[in-house]
Amino acid sequence: MFLKNCWYVAAWDHELLDGRMLPRTILEEGVLLYKAESGKVVALRDRCCHRGVPLHLGRREGDCVRCMYHGLKFDSTGKCIQIPGQDTIPAKLGVKSYPVVERDHLVWIWMGDPAQADPADIVDFPYLRDPQWKGVPDYMHYDANWMLIVDNLSDFAHLAFVHTRTLGGSEEYAYVTKPVAVERLDNGFRVERWHMNAAPPPFHRKVLPAGEKDTKVDRRNIGHMQVPGIFFLESMFSPAGSGSEKGNREGTREYRNCQFMTPETRRSTHFFWTYLNNYEGDDHNISRSLHQSLIEGFMEDKHLIEAQQKEIDADPSFELQMVAADAALSHFRRTFDKHLAAERAAQATGKAATTIAIAPHSAGVGA
């Protein structure tokens, strides 16, 4: 069900502010996340090894955490360093720790073999740290398998019907646009799609100056999905007929959408996202408007995806069918299955499984 030897997003950095002890189930394991007094992020199994009480019910002491049932104290590596009333501490007494990296406002965690955790394999999305690109980071919880969310994001055609009045704009999008490029990659896919001479979709129209709200646009979307569940979307809106498809960028407005799906359980998902723009300047109301529009759109998706999960649970024999528009998501599912099979085979033979290197280059989507 889950790939272990790869990096997952565990939290946004702001979720650990002010000494917060954050419990979060990841791949069906309870994890405690906190920022130590030294400033580093710590990830420990959220279960005291003594009597099984969740450690997030304890308290942070410097870089350590103390279980508030019997007072056992654990350092940031998970080692037990104090037992009240007992001088000798068994060497094996401790809790599991996880490799964790804080980068670009995201907290990444490695749930597999710690010896294979290479921070160089963490995806580099430079827009998250570029001050020109502004947005509001957020989190949602889905009562659905993470792969159903991946399917949804891999499918541009649903914009026309699910998001007609929010992110899509019209049902025309499904009929008149087709991918101009579908790249099947070893760790996912890249899809490019154009919609020419169309009305701006509602979310974009809201942030346009009054004189441009009814001006037709040429719209380009480039989606890049990567194993285990990382999605980047590059969107561009140009004045209709301006030649943006030939490289002219005059008058364009651009967005960068990044989304990270981390399985909580096989039927629930942590969904981290932010929608960035590079043109608002000091007008932060643009980011706020876009943020609210994306929430509205995601709630439309969430409603359908969670209903989809209930139907699948009610009839495990039901098999999802594919149509031509599903080429990208079908490739992703096959790619994921290959990585999962390779990891399982390596575990069965006792060999180190191949890690998932998720675009460690500077990944300007669509570049």
Distance, CA of 160 to CA of 84 (rounded, Å)? 62
Q: Which CATH superfamily is domain 7-116 in?
A: Rieske [2Fe-2S] iron-sulphur domain (2.102.10.10)
- What is residue 176's predicted lDDT score, i.e. its pLDDT? 62
What b/e sequence results for 319-329 when a residue is b if at least 16 CB atoms lie within 10 Å of its CB, and e otherwise? eeeeeeebbbb
Distance, CA of 4 to CA of 356 (rounded, Å)? 9
- What is residue 366's predicted lDDT score, i.e. its pLDDT? 37
Q: Are 262 and 9 in contact (CB under 8 A)?
A: yes
Residue ranges, CATH 2.102.10.10, the chain: 7-116
- What is residue 179's predicted lDDT score, i.e. its pLDDT? 63
Distance, CA of 260 to CA of 193 (rounded, Å)? 22
Altogether, the residues listed in the chain come to a count of 367
pTM for the model stands at 0.90
pLDDT tens track for 60-99: 999 999 999 999 999 999 999 999 999 999 999 999 999 9
- Strands across the sheet containing 73-74: 59-61, 64-66, 73-74, 80-82
Q: At what angle do helices 327-349 and 146-154 cross, to 10 degrees?
A: 140
pLDDT tens track for 149-169: 999 888 766 666 776 666 765
- What is residue 325's predicted lDDT score, i.e. its pLDDT? 77
- What is residue 324's predicted lDDT score, i.e. its pLDDT? 77
Nearest-10 Cα torsion for 271, 106, 234, 158: 0
3-state secondary structure of 29: strand
- What is residue 363's predicted lDDT score, i.e. its pLDDT? 44
The CATH architecture that domain 123-349 belongs to is Alpha-Beta Complex (3.90)
Q: At what angle do helices 146-154 and 285-314 cross, to 10 degrees?
A: 120
pLDDT beneath 70, residues of the chain? 156-160, 163-166, 168-179, 351-367
Distance, CA of 233 to CA of 190 (rounded, Å)? 10
Please, which residues bridge with residue 327 across strands? Answer: none
Residue ranges, CATH 3.90.380.10, the chain: 123-349
In sequence order, what are the residues at sequence separation of 6 or more whose Cβ sits closer than 8 angstroms to the Cβ of residue 97? Answer: 42, 43, 44, 45, 76, 77, 78
Q: How far apart are the first and last CA of the chain?
A: 32
Complete DSSP assignment for 207-276: TS-GGGTT--EEEEEEEEEETTTEEEEEEEEEETTS-GGGT--TT-EEEEEEEEEEEEETTEEEEEEEEE
Query: Percentage of the chain surpassing pLDDT 90?
Result: 76
Helix or strand (DSSP H, E) at 68: none
For 353, phi then psi, to 5°, come to -75, 150
Matching residue, tokens 């993470």 = 146
Distance, CA of 58 to CA of 21 (rounded, Å)? 9
